[in-house]
Structure 1
Amino acid sequence: MIKTYTVIAAGLVAVLLGGLASMVFFGQRDEGFAQCRQTTVAGGSGSIGGPFELVDHTGRTVRDTDVIDRPTLIYFGYTFCPDVCPLDNARNAQAADILIDQGVDMQLAFISIDPARDTPEVLAEFVSYMHPEMIGLTGSAEQVRAASQAYKTYYAAQESDDPDYYLVDHTTFSYLVLPEHGFVDVFRRELTPEALAEQVGCFIEAA
């Protein structure tokens, strides 16, 4: 059964689909998951993803191999995001529940692009609201930047007179990573939970 998620969103955030946005287009399929893939990344799926070292929501330093031990949907965002991030992650959580109810062992990973405010403690509260199988990841500014660059994401803090209250423009894709294959596809936020679950399930079954 799909869990019901209540997301309280306030205000608007300007989200720039930079970086990967210009690289994703409909067209030629990569080999291996041709029957599942809806998009193609210029340069091939091997150009996205890679090693990272971050800090999880329990305060433990982890590497990508520690985190991605089963199919994982990764989202880059921040907990102070007023609407887009909670809505997107709620959608991902609903899709995950559809798959979990079908017997699929998967998880969600939320990588903060706002490490100044998103401490492990803040992330722990965020992921506890979102989904029991969600991992929150943060780190130093350098660690976060390296992870973002690996996945070709974009983020930039907006100027603000208050150092504690500012918005961050960022990429809003969700990335599917499989332990044996690495990054396999990227999903836009317009997908419904049902459509996302179907596409993710196709990759997992094909793997």
Structure 2
Amino acid sequence: MTKHAMNQIIRALSAFLLAALPIACSSPAPNDRPPLEGARIGAPFRLTDQDGKTRTDRDFAGRYRIMYFGYTFCPDVCPTDMQTIGAGLRLFEAKDATRAANVVPVFVTVDPKRDTPAVLKAFVSAFHPRMVGLTGDPAAILALAKAYGVAVQAEKPNAQGGYLVAHGRFAFLMDPAGKPVALLPQDETPQAVASELERWVK
């Protein structure tokens, strides 16, 4: 992904979050309040998982979920982020297995043309045994990405037909009601992810 494309994505997400967050004229919220509380992020969905089963947002009701948008052909960023998220969740599991069992990591492809269920299965299984991979109708995926403020732009294919997909690099922690809680630091260390999960997962 080029620096220009990443800057465009960051500006797009910033604008989305500013529009999504409610305007408050009172004093700053206490530190124990979720940073994304009240933000209009997320939407219902109906997609296909790595086992070919239809999955909807209702399947995750009552559980926390980590929502990340990426693609398996990503040369470096997505595998690195998935490794960090998976390792962070395992650290949290080692410390508090009961709370961690209520967290589902979800990888939503932004490249459904290449990311079939079989391709997703091989990818997500490498990072965490409970990670769910989702693919499906391109329009439905773009609509869901937009609901999360994640900009997606496929680049022009090269002579061999390969291409990159520029996309927002964010990991959203959603609560059991499907409301946004916080952005997880997937670009830091697994311990940083585990610490945020420990802080917000009840």
After superposition, the Cα gap between the structure-2 partners of 1:128 and 1:21, relative to the gap in structure 1 and judged at 3 Å, is same
Which residue identity is paired with 1:158? E
Cα shift at 1:180: 2.7
For 1:198 and 1:158, the matched residues in 2 are separated by 36
Are residue 62 (structure 1) and residue 55 (structure 2) matched?
yes
Are residue 138 (structure 1) and residue 135 (structure 2) matched?
yes
Cα-Cα RMSD:
2.4
Identical pairs, percent? 32
Q: Is the 8 A contact 2:16 2:149 kept in 1?
A: no
Instruction: Tell me the SS of whatever aligns to 1:149.
Output: helix
Match of 1:179 in 2: 176
Cα shift at 1:160: 2.1
Cα shift at 1:158: 1.0
After superposition, the Cα gap between the structure-2 partners of 1:148 and 1:201, relative to the gap in structure 1 and judged at 3 Å, is same
After superposition, the Cα gap between the structure-2 partners of 1:53 and 1:161, relative to the gap in structure 1 and judged at 3 Å, is same
User: TM-score under structure 2 normalisation?
Assistant: 0.82
For 2:72 and 2:28, the matched residues in 1 are separated by 34
For 1:30 and 1:47, the matched residues in 2 are separated by 19
After superposition, the Cα gap between the structure-2 partners of 1:170 and 1:141, relative to the gap in structure 1 and judged at 3 Å, is same
Cα shift at 1:144: 0.5
Cα shift at 1:183: 1.7
Which residue identity is paired with 1:156? Q
Match of 1:115 in 2: 112
For 2:41 and 2:49, the matched residues in 1 are separated by 21
Are residue 193 (structure 1) and residue 185 (structure 2) matched?
no
Which residue identity is paired with 2:166? D
For 1:125 and 1:79, the matched residues in 2 are separated by 9
Match 1:125 to one of 122, 127, 132: 122
Q: Is the 8 A contact 1:174 1:187 kept in 2?
A: yes
Which residue identity is paired with 1:203? W
What runs of 5+ residues in structure 1 fail to find an aligned partner?
1-12
Task: Identify, as 1 or 2, the structure richer in helix.
Answer: 2
After superposition, the Cα gap between the structure-2 partners of 1:107 and 1:120, relative to the gap in structure 1 and judged at 3 Å, is same
Match of 2:21 in 1: none
Match 1:147 to one of 139, 144, 149: 144
For 1:79 and 1:68, the matched residues in 2 are separated by 26
For 1:79 and 1:45, the matched residues in 2 are separated by 32
Match 2:88 to one of 74, 95, 101: 95
The number of equivalent residue pairs is 186
Match of 2:162 in 1: 165
Match 1:79 to one of 72, 82, 85: 72
For 2:176 and 2:159, the matched residues in 1 are separated by 41
User: TM-score under structure 1 normalisation?
Assistant: 0.80
What runs of 5+ residues in structure 2 fail to find an aligned partner?
19-23
CA deviation profile, 1:123-150 (whole Å, cap 9, x unmatched): 0110111110100001011110121111
Higher alpha-carbon deviation: 78-87 or 139-148: 139-148
Q: Is the 8 A contact 2:87 2:127 kept in 1?
A: no
